[in-house]
Amino acid sequence: MNTEKILEVKDLVVEFRTERGVVKAVNGVNFEVHKGKTLGIVGESGSGKSVSALAIMGLIPNPPGRVASGQILYRGKSLVNIDPSEMRKIRGNKIAMIFQEPMTSLNPVFTIGNQIEEVIELHQPHLSASERAAKAVDMLRLVGIPSPEKRVKEYPHQLSGGMRQRVMIAIALSCEPDILIADEPTTALDVTIQAQILELMNKLQKELGMGIILITHDLGVVAETCDHVAVMYCGQIVESADVETLFNHPSHPYTKGLMDSIPDFDSTSGHKKERLQTIEGMVPSLFNLPTGCNFQDRCSKVTEACRGMNGDPTLKPAKGDDHFVACFNPLENI
Amino acid sequence: MSEYLIEVNNLGKRFPIKGGLLGREVGAVNAVNNVSFKIKKGETLGLVGESGCGKTTLGRSILRLIEPTSGEIIFNGKNILEYNAAEMRAVRRKMQIIFQDPYASLNPRMTIGDILAEPMEIHGLHMDKTARRKRLFELLNQVQLPSDALNKYPHEFSGGQRQRICIARALAVEPEFIVCDEPVSALDVSVQAQVVNLLMDLQKELGLTYLFIAHDLKVVEYISNRVAVMYLGNMIEVAESSELYGHAKHPYTKALFSAIPHASTKGRAGRIILEGDIPSPMNPPTGCHFNPRCWNATEECRKIFPPVTNASPTHQYRCYNPIQ
């Protein structure tokens, strides 16, 4: 990727102190976000994808959580242990985030317009009240809400789920951020509305040139929107590649397993219906991870090497540019 | 006896909306509107649609967990809407349901053994102690859970395992027909596949008939023999699942299927992005409910709701301007 690198995460470790001991929700994660590109982070619940995003935003609740080590660099500037007032200037202004559940992230007692103007007031104090109001209407128009002049005066409960997510996007984009972090932005929405929102995010990215981190568990969404993908499992990135490589030549058995467990439509020609491929067992508890590879107990290609005698697997280059996999027995590329 | 296990004719469910000081009826939502379909023994009918289209209401109406307001439900040749409470309880043994959220549908204070035994207790099955125990182990075995699960509580299990417990509870009374209401929506992808496989194995083994409700079209297409599409309370298209995916007649079906993101980087083209949202069911558009979002809509569509048209003996749709 020859585009401008705007965010770099290096060896990030996030710990949570709990009654049952310290747990590493994110354990040595590296990734980069480039201008105008979308990075997808995929994984199942508890794999550490949302925690990584919260760490970038400086929103890890402390205590019990903390960034234990590693670096987060926004345009070369470290965001770990940054002064809180400094961070407030970046959060929402340079790096914005949208969440999964648009109803709980909007305040039910303020109008939509109010909530957009609040962000503009905080980050662009030079604008007058009337300029702010005009900008709120512009933002709603930008995200494709019909009759925005009327909608600014409405409350969240008067809008549908898809509309609310559009409002969230409008709020996030109102300060023209460099980076938009979208944490499962369409998971709560129906497919036809999901298609609308993904289309909108694509369009806005082209217009505004921001870098996007898209966190999702849906490989379909990743395939259609991302440029680069990182697959997470138990707090670590197990495979990282550009989207074409990942889908056409997955190298980690977990990535392959995830792809095989989705029923695909392309079987319309012949009739039905082999059993779905599954990944046996379940995700191990973070309190009780095996030594060696975290995926060993569910892996079909497991060998002695995976059980910890050579240490944990680390990301190593695999076939193809920019393709890394953390596996002792990566799949031969098909 | 006919080859159909269950036959639903013109089923309707109307929820009145009360308002004002006196609680007078100010309007109504027709959550399910004149829906008819049949399911053969051993078959799976998939039911898809977006949130609020009435698929869950339909599923629950069939079991009379929600009392339908009109129509008939013929189960094993008899209209169960004419049954009284005692007769209904007897027939419920043959019709079970699995819910979406395996966290909310298991009582946290009961052990798995008690949870599975309760339906047998109610229906007076396996009353002998050793027979009961034998049956409990058999159930756990069927859903591939370890036998030490009996003395544990729901919080000790993961989402996928809890859904297995819910399936075992439904199987406890040896039903013929199971309504699966979004059984895998709350699960992670890799676990989802395990539960889908389990449901299909059980169907083969026990000859079960499913009504499989879900909004995940890929899973529905995979598990179902036939798929029905609902929009605002109406069934707008039903066909064999491969037929529906490849040759949908209704523009909404076409758009719905095209909106699914594919886990492959080939062929991103052909997406139909629908404008707007689902209209409010309190105030649906006249004529075809889909007409404000439809690119094929004509004058006719705005007047009268389209009648059922047969594309083939197994493929019906409701549209004036179907896709050729």
Element at A136 (helix H, strand E):
helix A129-142
Say whether both A153 and A213 belong to one domain. Answer: yes
The last residue of a domain, from among A178, A209, A233: A233
Is there a domain that residue B132 lies in?
A: no
What b/e sequence results for B242-278 when a residue is b if at least 16 CB atoms lie within 10 Å of its CB, and e otherwise?
A: bbbbebbbbbbbbbbbbbbbbbbbeeeeeeeebeebb
Q: Output the average pLDDT for chain A.
A: 87
Query: What are the tokens at B41?
Result: 């023994």
- Whole-number pLDDT of residue A191: 84
Question: Is the CB of residue A185 less than 8 Å away from at least one CB of chain B?
Answer: no
Q: Is the pLDDT of residue B279 over 50?
A: yes
A158: region left, alpha or beta (phi > 0 left; psi from -120 to 50 alpha): alpha
Is there a domain that residue A332 lies in?
A: no
Q: Is the pLDDT of residue B257 over 90?
A: no
Element at A172 (helix H, strand E):
helix A161-173
d(CA A172, CA B25): 42
Q: Which domain holds residue A89?
A: 5-233
Q: Output the average pLDDT for chain B.
A: 90
Q: Is the pLDDT of residue B252 over 90?
A: yes
- Residue A314: is it exposed, middle or buried by C-beta count within 10 angstroms (0-12/13-18/19+)? exposed
Query: What are the tokens at B43?
Result: 């078959």
Is there a domain that residue B133 lies in?
A: no
Say whether both A314 and A170 belong to one domain. Answer: no
Q: Decide if A279 and B190 are in contact by the 8 Å CB cutoff.
A: yes
Residues 239-258 of B with CB under 8 A from A: 242, 245-246, 255-257
Is there a domain that residue B157 lies in?
A: no
Say whether both A251 and A108 belong to one domain. Answer: no
Question: Is the CB of residue B307 less than 8 Å away from at least one CB of chain A?
Answer: no
CB-based contact B263:B256 (threshold 8 Å):
no
Q: Decide if A192 and B255 are in contact by the 8 Å CB cutoff.
A: yes
Say whether both A294 and A220 belong to one domain. Answer: no
Query: What are the tokens at B163?
Result: 């859904």
Number of domains in chain A: 2
DSSP state of A91: B
CB-based contact B166:B107 (threshold 8 Å):
no
Is there a domain that residue A55 lies in?
A: yes
Say whether both A32 and A145 belong to one domain. Answer: yes
User: What is the biggest distance separating any 2 CA atoms in chain B, rounded to whole angstroms?
Assistant: 69
Q: What is the pLDDT of residues B308-323, one digit of tens each?
A: 999 999 999 999 999 8
- Whole-number pLDDT of residue B196: 92
Q: Is the pLDDT of residue B1 over 60?
A: no
Question: Is the CB of residue B158 less than 8 Å away from at least one CB of chain A?
Answer: yes
Q: Which residue in B89, B147, B90, B86 sits closest to B116, CA to CA?
A: B147
User: Which of B217, B256, B264 has its CB closest to that of A223?
Assistant: B264
pTM of the model: 0.85
For residue A192, give the CATH number of its domain: 3.40.50.300
Sorting pLDDT into bands at 50, 70 and 90, what band is B35? Answer: very high
Query: What is residue A69's three-state secondary structure?
Result: strand
- Whole-number pLDDT of residue B39: 95
Say whether both A218 and A254 belong to one domain. Answer: no
Q: Decide if A279 and B222 are in contact by the 8 Å CB cutoff.
A: no
The last residue of a domain, from among A211, A233, A255: A233
Contacts of A314 (CB under 8 A, 6+ apart): A326
Q: What percent of chain B has pLDDT over 90?
A: 62
Q: What is the pLDDT of residues A32-66, one digit of tens each?
A: 999 999 999 998 888 899 999 999 999 998 888 89
- Report H helices in chain B: 55-62, 85-92, 112-123, 129-142, 159-171, 189-206, 217-223, 241-246, 251-258
Question: Is the CB of residue B200 less than 8 Å away from at least one CB of chain A?
Answer: yes
Q: ipTM of the assembly?
A: 0.79
Q: Which residue in B50, B53, B74 sits closest to B62, CA to CA?
A: B74
Best mutation target, B205, B227, B262, B266, to test chain A (most A CBs within 10 A): B262
Query: What is residue A244's three-state secondary structure?
Result: helix
d(CA B182, CA B98): 8
CB-based contact A40:A214 (threshold 8 Å):
yes
Average pLDDT over residues B148-161: 90
Average pLDDT over residues B270-279: 78
Number of domains in chain B: 1
- Whole-number pLDDT of residue B52: 81
Point out which residues pair with A95 in neighbouring strands. A91, A179
Query: What is residue B245's three-state secondary structure?
Result: helix
Q: Decide if B265 and A272 are in contact by the 8 Å CB cutoff.
A: no
Say whether both A256 and A206 belong to one domain. Answer: no
State the angle between helix axes of B112-123 and B159-171 in degrees (0 to 180), rounded to the nearest 10. 20
For residue B321, which phi and psi values (nearest 5 degrees)? -125, 70
- Whole-number pLDDT of residue B269: 57
| Amino acid (1-letter code) at residue B93 | R
Is there a domain that residue B280 lies in?
A: yes
User: Which of B189, B200, B217 has its CB closest to that of A191?
Assistant: B217
Is there a domain that residue A334 lies in?
A: no
Q: Decide if A44 and B189 are in contact by the 8 Å CB cutoff.
A: yes
Question: Is the CB of residue A219 less than 8 Å away from at least one CB of chain B?
Answer: yes
Is there a domain that residue B150 lies in?
A: no
Tokens 């182990």, residue?
B137
- Whole-number pLDDT of residue A268: 45
Question: Is the CB of residue B160 less than 8 Å away from at least one CB of chain A?
Answer: yes
d(CA A31, CA A52): 10
For residue B186, give the CATH number of its domain: 3.40.50.300
- Whole-number pLDDT of residue A159: 86
Radius of gyration for chain A, computed over Cα atoms and rounded to the nearest angstrom: 21
Question: Is the CB of residue A276 less than 8 Å away from at least one CB of chain B?
Answer: yes
Query: What are the tokens at A38?
Result: 């979308």
Q: What order of strands is seen across the sheet that includes strand B44-48?
A: B95-98, B177-181, B209-213, B44-48, B226-231, B234-240, B315-317, B309-312
Query: What are the tokens at A49?
Result: 């994808």
Q: Decide if B218 and A268 are in contact by the 8 Å CB cutoff.
A: no
Say whether both A314 and A181 belong to one domain. Answer: no
Say whether both A180 and A105 belong to one domain. Answer: yes
**Ranges of chain A whose pLDDT falls below 50:** 267-271
Strands A228-233 and B209-213: unpaired
Is there a domain that residue B130 lies in?
A: no
Average pLDDT over residues B165-186: 93
Q: Which residue in A121, A157, A9, A143 sits closest to A71, CA to CA?
A: A9
A184: region left, alpha or beta (phi > 0 left; psi from -120 to 50 alpha): left
| Chain A residues within an 8 Å CB radius of B278 | 160, 190
Query: What are the tokens at A276?
Result: 């779905």
**Number of Cα atoms under 13 Å in the Cβ half of residue B94:** 12
Other C-beta atoms closer than 10 Å to the C-beta of B118 total 14
Say whether both A52 and A74 belong to one domain. Answer: yes
For residue B18, which phi and psi values (nearest 5 degrees)? -100, 145
Q: What is the pLDDT of residues B56-108, one digit of tens each?
A: 999 999 999 999 999 999 999 999 999 999 999 999 999 999 998 888 899 99
Q: Decide if A276 and B196 are in contact by the 8 Å CB cutoff.
A: yes
Is there a domain that residue A104 lies in?
A: yes
State the angle between helix axes of B159-171 and B189-206 in degrees (0 to 180), rounded to the nearest 10. 20
B192: nearest CA partner in chain A? A261
Q: Which domain holds residue B247?
A: 4-94+175-262+269-317
Cα A280–chain centre separation: 26
CB-based contact A31:A43 (threshold 8 Å):
no
Is there a domain that residue B258 lies in?
A: yes
d(CA B191, CA A257): 11
Contacts of A157 (CB under 8 A, 6+ apart): A108
The last residue of a domain, from among A179, A212, A233: A233
Is there a domain that residue B100 lies in?
A: no
Element at A49 (helix H, strand E):
helix A49-57
Q: Is the pLDDT of residue B276 over 90?
A: no
